[in-house]
Amino acid sequence: MIVALVVAIFPIFYTLMASVKSNQELLANPSAIFPEKFIFDNYVQAWQLANFKQYTLNSVHMAFFIVVGTIITSTIAGYVFERGKFRGKDMIFAFVLSSMFVSLGSLTLYPTLMIAKFFHMNKSLWGVIIIRVLGLNVSNLFIARGYIATIPKEVDEAAKIDGCSFFGIYRHIMFPLLKPLIATVGILEFRNAWNDYMMPLVFTMASPKRMPLVVGVVNLKSTGEAASNWNVMLAGTAISIIPMIIVFLLFNKNFISGLTAGSVKG
């Protein structure tokens, strides 16, 4: 476990330490972990060179709506597949679940872009948001259904006696009980949305001011001054990493319980 921890944490720690070094020190002695002198001006330069203020706001905007939308769609889909009674439910779920084992990578980008272009959603982050939300991440669906399966069905039956409809049970009874699941799906989807690069790049190529932070970090490499300043580039990378670390630390407890709750019941 200690070895696994070191392997996982070291790249992040090295990036954070290198981001406060001078460029000369970084190039002269790249193997040194701790800087001789902490230079926080690297962050100021990265913020100004790549317009990181606007890019950060764009990333927060995109991640917020993707997370909220995905929580709603994933929990509803998990509830329907677990508690719903309709013909072919298991077969449909099997087909949806099988898509987890098919990875087409960037091959789906072009047809997705054509669909977005047809609906005039291909020039803003709203196109990315709608596609990510309605695309329904299968991993989130699998986790959601497993967690909902741990909630006793007697809860549903008691609500039905009180006159609750199927979706009324979800809204008033089920959803408030899904806090660990919501935290789990929220963190997983925030990570995906915050780190998403290819689709936001394509959708905002014609509107650079709408680019999210990760796209801005990559573009920093082509910025004249930053292209030769690895310390500035690493500072930009650190800026994009820090929000993800903060979110995980805040919701770590609920994240773990949400993952493990559905794993003990088939």
148/179 Cα distance (integer angstroms): 11
- Does residue 266 sit within a domain? no
What are the tens digits of pLDDT across the range 174-204? 898 888 888 888 888 998 899 888 889 888 8
- Does residue 55 sit within a domain? yes
∠ at Cα 81 (75, 86), nearest 5°?
Answer: 140
Q: What is the pTM of this model?
A: 0.83
- Does residue 2 sit within a domain? no
| Residue whose structure tokens are 């936001």 | 200
Torsion of CA 199, 72, 68, 207, to 10 degrees: 30
Question: What are the residues whose beta carbons fall under 8 Å from the beta carbon of 172, sequence distance 6 or more?
Answer: 159, 164
Q: Where in the sequence is the domain holding 228, given as residue range(s)?
A: 16-21+36-261
- Does residue 117 sit within a domain? yes
- Does residue 159 sit within a domain? yes
For the chain, the first-to-last Cα distance in angstroms comes to: 28
CATH code, domain carrying 97:
1.10.3720.10
Domains of the chain: total: 1
Tell me if 45 sits within 8 A of 232, measured CB to CB.
yes
- Does residue 105 sit within a domain? yes
67/133 Cα distance (integer angstroms): 8
pLDDT-derived band at 263 (thresholds 50, 70, 90) equals low
What are the tens digits of pLDDT across the range 147-157? 898 888 888 88
22/40 Cα distance (integer angstroms): 10
Of the listed ranges 52-56, 80-84, 125-129, 253-257, the least confidently predicted one is: 253-257
165/112 Cα distance (integer angstroms): 36
- Does residue 5 sit within a domain? no
> What pLDDT is stored for residue 266 in this prediction?
45
Average pLDDT, the chain: 84
> What pLDDT is stored for residue 109 in this prediction?
81
